Amino acid sequence: MQIDTPDNLQDRTSNKIQIITDPSQKELKEHGSYQFPVLISEETLSRYTSGSFLWHWHKEIEFTLVLSGNMFYQINEDIFYLTEGEALFGNSNTLHTGRMDKNKDCRYLAVTFNPRIIYGYEGSLIQNKYVNPLQQDINFSSLHFDLSEAWHAEVIRLLKQLHNITEQDGYYRELDTQLLLLKLWRTLISNRPHQLKEANKFEEQNVRRIKQILTFVENHYTLKIELEDIAGHINLCKSECCRLFKRYMGISLFEYIIEYRIEKSLLYIAGSDISITETALNVGFSDPNYYSKVFRKLKGCSPTKYRLELYRRTED
């Protein structure tokens, strides 16, 4: 079982990390191993550049438990405000991102696992009866355990027990982890809220289109991107493309592209041999002055000052 050592991209000078994804924003980090597909890690938002982890998705199921502080966490189109002691369920293949509240750090536990740890092998009775109905329900992307219902406390208690296991080195650690995950899954499916909305046959297609947009931006952010090109790529008109993206991502498509380019520029900023002008051009800004203006708006300082602060921290 892997514990507490995420295999993410690390800045050359700032010791900050960020999620590594493929062009579709699928996370490339291994969550555990084939022999034991579970990753339990204690994280802090301050470890990530900009105090947030970027949009990504993975086939594994994830539970998040806030240990201290608060955070905003978005899964598909739903935004949650998590406070200390609360938890969140994220289903397989859902897009998600998290960020600080008012630039204050948040420490949290991430419990990520392939549902195979629950059902054993493909086609098993456990998979077909107890896992697939929930995992494949596109209307059940997330659930906030905010103690508004009594059974939420049991989920939080089990997550805390999983946290305790990571701090021990006992012989039965993997077995105890699997037993707790089975109890956690049993608690979830037996108390799962009835879905008030009918299954939407277009929902899966919409999520697929969002991933296609993210892939397009990843592949073309260094170039000039036209809305018409993105809309044509997902076979929607321009207005519907913008509406769909805003619904799921919480920001406009234009804002996302700009913020994505700024995030991509941080690694160039960390390199002393790359000028600010070169950095701007490398991430798709044709005007370095505009890049600096947007950077200052999003980061609160100029790119030059940001770089100097990174060097100061390194020297300290």
Whole-structure pTM over 0.85, yes or no?
no
3-state secondary structure of 165: helix
Contact criterion met (CB below 8 Å) for 25 and 56: yes
The full set of domains in the chain, from first to last, is 2-191 (2.60.120.280), 203-315 (1.10.10.60)
Q: Of 140, 137, 138, 115, which is closest to residue 127 (Cα–Cα)?
A: 115
With the C-alpha atoms ordered 155, 157, 163, 166, is the resulting torsion angle positive or negative? Answer: negative
Q: How far apart are CA 42 and CA 69, in angstroms?
A: 13
In this structure, the number of other CB atoms found within 10 A of the CB of residue 128 comes to 12
3-state secondary structure of 142: strand
pLDDT in tens, the chain (316 residues): 433 333 333 443 346 677 787 777 778 788 889 889 999 999 999 998 778 888 888 999 999 999 999 999 999 889 999 999 999 999 998 999 999 999 899 999 999 999 999 999 888 999 999 999 899 887 889 999 999 999 999 999 999 999 999 877 889 999 999 999 999 999 999 998 754 444 455 677 888 899 899 999 989 999 999 999 999 999 999 999 999 998 888 789 999 999 999 988 988 888 767 899 999 999 999 999 999 999 999 888 999 988 887 777 666 5
Q: How far apart are CA 119 and CA 138, in angstroms?
A: 20
Give the side-chain half-sphere CA count within 13 A for 64: 30
